[in-house]
Amino acid sequence: MKSEQYDKLTDEEKRDQVAKAAGVSLEDIMTGKLPDYLNDLNAMHKAEAMLNPGAGNADGPDIRWNRFVSILVSRDVQLGSESALHATAAQRAKAFVLTMTGEYEC
């Protein structure tokens, strides 16, 4: 998914995209039993855990983690490198979806 496409989604659609990227069951997505990824940092931290830094295979978790951080500090999420640690849940959700869809060019 491209940044511009993500920005055009409704909040509900964004939440669904995070859930799909995080591997949430289709049943939970269809019934709306999803965390509030756009407003809940704890929910985003759980989703981000699947990026699992340290595993180190070719395009595996280390690469995805680095891509995620690059997106967080990019112009698309609009954070500077000093404030990446203070990203909101919504900013983290966007970076997570862009990372997991694999279509974002850093």
- Comparing CA positions, the residue from 80, 89, 106, 85 lying closest to residue 3 is 106
Asked whether 53 and 68 are in contact (CB, 8 A), the reply is: no
Number of H helices, E strands in the chain: 6, 0
> Dihedrals φ, ψ of 87, to 5°?
-65, 140
Question: In the chain, what are the domain boundaries?
Answer: 3-101
Q: In this predicted structure, what is the pLDDT of residue 37? A: 95
Q: What is the 3-state secondary structure (H, E, C) of 25-53?
A: CHHHHHHCCCCCCCCCHHHHHHHHHHHCC
10-residue block means of pLDDT along the chain (106 residues)? 90 94 88 92 88 57 70 64 72 87 65
| Stated pTM of the model | 0.78
